[in-house]
Amino acid sequence: MNEENLDVTVLVKATPVLSTALEESMCVAGISSGPIPRWIRLYPVPYRDLEDSMRFKKYEQVRLRAVRPRNDRRPESWSPVEDSLSVVGSLGTEHGWSRRKELVSAMEGPTMCELFRENAGGSGRDIRSLGVVRPVDQPKLTIVPRPPEKIRAWDEKAAAIAAQRSLFGGRSIPKPPLEAVPWVFKYQYRCGDTSCGGHDQSIIDWEVVALYRKVRHRSNWKSLMREKLVDEMWAPGRDSLLYVGNQVQHPQSFLVLGVFWPPSGGIQTRLT
């Protein structure tokens, strides 16, 4: 396969998943550098197995080599070449998040309903599968139990991965197991399409899972999550947007990949 050199500003780090091949991997998405910015999806990324120097954060800029996947027709999708990734820069929040706003605002649109319509016939090289969507009002957060069969399937894969690692060796310092989260977190919202009847989408942002694990032992953990994911991120004075993307097996099944929640106001001129 032909390799391509990519420079990507990371906007999305999804919750790691366990594959049927007994591998743990993450889906990452961001915007490429260049005269015409474009969405880039990177999968699989073995994030927890990366060396510390390669463990990037959101809004850091990474450089890597990648190839087109054989089983994914979505135009944004790439498979990273092993050990080719390095962190080369970052976009901070100074001057009202101006550098981040400049990057993300260039990618805003289409509406969520438009993305659904585009993907009605399945994925294709000219069909967008990632987007920046603006809800017309503050989303509602719902927290529902994950089906028990999903948790059992996850635990079985995690146990098989642990057994495989024990049999064949691996990292000298074992990483902690990736436990199943017994809850599904969703945003309900309406997009700007005049015919929108509302959207109900699961949130797969790794930071949301990290927040849950931080507060889950407190009696008011659901309220604490709503305070962060609704009251703070969508407060007056924030110009918040959603990062959304679909699944390769189900093109019309879109998920919330993350929230961009800068302070309101136009793009500010940076000091020189």
Residue labelled with tokens 């969405």: 39
Does residue 80 have a cis peptide bond before it, meaning omega lies within 30 degrees of 0?
A: no
Q: What's the rounded Cα separation, in Å, for the pair 139 and 81? A: 37
Percent of the chain residues topping a pLDDT of 70: 93
What is the rounded distance in angstroms from the CA atom of residue 139 to the CA atom of residue 186?
9
* 3-class state of residue 18 by DSSP: strand
Instruction: Name the nearest CA neighbour of 48 among 28, 68, 76.
Output: 28
191 burial via Cβ count (<10 Å: 0-12, 13-18, 19+): buried
Provide the token pair at 68.
Answer: 């087109």
Averaged over 131-137, what is the pLDDT?
97
At 228-245, the pLDDT tens digits run 999 999 999 999 999 999
pLDDT bracket for residue 74 (50, 70, 90)? very high
What are the pLDDT digits (tens) for 79-130? Answer: 999 999 999 999 999 999 999 999 999 999 899 999 999 999 999 989 999 9
At residue 266, the pLDDT reads: 64
189-204: average pLDDT: 97
- Whether the per-residue pLDDT at 270 is higher than 50: the answer is no
Backbone φ and ψ of 248, nearest 5°: -60, -35
CA dist., res. 160 & res. 162, Å (int): 5
DSSP state of 181: P
Least confident span in 1-5, 7-11, 14-18 = 1-5
Which of 46-55, 168-177, 181-190 holds the top average pLDDT?
181-190
- 110 has which bridge partners? none
pLDDT band at residue 173, thresholds of 50, 70 and 90? Answer: low
What's the pTM? 0.92
| CA proximity to 107, closest of 58, 59, 38 | 38
Average pLDDT over residues 210-228: 98
